[in-house]
Structure 1
């Protein structure tokens, strides 16, 4: 997904001379290298100075530019948080803060590189918008949107590498602020976002193998959340499932529960999130997700498929 982001950003910069990229200790490769070579005056590497990265982006935005701040997710949001809050959100500047390798993708690097609570933190900031594409195609759509929008700051939460394309046959187009149905059914609705959508796809296939009609939905825009869209999904399906790679607080799962309560939804609702814990488990991304309880076998058992 990071390569897709780089390619989409390069195309946006080619079309618009106001697009800048400010990175923190990211070595340019692929399309990012093309960007740095072709537009060196618009490629800035601040090194391990993430606070400066945000401050420079704020200054560029105040001059009418469309800047992107880009590094590993923990260092794009957590380390320079005060600057994100005061320089970007307080002034409502159209800066895109890109968090690459979000969630627990950097599994082997430990808690310092895990963004388990980033949506809760970014979502609490006034004016901040949040987009989390589920595959490279959605990443392209999101990056293109961010390169032109002027509403305010955006936290763009992306994966790392090797994600499959899940949206080629999607029923709905990508539209900022709206749920996107990849498939439409009537029995079960699975809501997810980000790279963990791969597990949602497999769960949908397991339900379909049991004869169930399944809606699979990409909730790519976490803020502003499509409240009406979620309320409709809760009303139209007998069983709704939320799967997200985020802490139990402040993400899609608790917001879906709130909407269910507010609308007096009568469907069955199951939610699966990361634990409210630092899991000391060395292994792959899937190994760490399993340690958190996000495992297809465990989920299947809880939703009545096992």
Structure 2
């Protein structure tokens, strides 16, 4: 067996290591392998010339690396709730951009995750919702949430799309707005978090950055508020980043500004992966779970 530092296929780029094997005393065969520095692998067998002769190479198609598996942390929970807008309520559009009967809770991304992991869920969301709207309305909002008997082991927060689309960048607000009762995104969203903590003080909460934008750039200010709220209250942050357009989270299939049914399945995967990654990266403690509540 002889190793050559430079012989090898000219149809591949990059230097590398080339190994030639010759059988001994007529036994075995003659083969040569080229391990290129750019990650390509070539081989040739019985090419009928010296090792320096650059003929007869075949390129090996390498398998894609197996992605690492993230833990299914959501399977720890038995009762999960989400507070959000149409992206959380499952407002589905068909392939021609037509709204399919408004909120479709059973086809929302949380419902898809519930079927995957087997937990019970409830959706305190509806199309067009904002942080201010949620705090001052009843159906699927603050009024229902504070008067029903439902309790949960875990919460998702998924607001911000309509807040930034309907308001200026300044409406994003500041931390002092929470205590002062000021009507701003920061103030209303902070009071939503405090409402949850008053009802289920031990339940972990994950808050997600905005999952679609309307091109005016305001969403970046609102995302900064979401990140600040995660620090203020010790929440798990699912950060989809600021480099978003109307096709945010590029795998989501969208028509007319909303996901299709297949899009919600992909959005569910995005939240599943985002949550698992956030728990691992932020070393979030989700093990101190409260006792299960009766329905």
Normalised to the residue count of structure 2, the TM-score between the two structures is 0.31
Structure showing the higher helix proportion among its residues? 1
Q: TM-score, normalised by structure 1?
A: 0.30
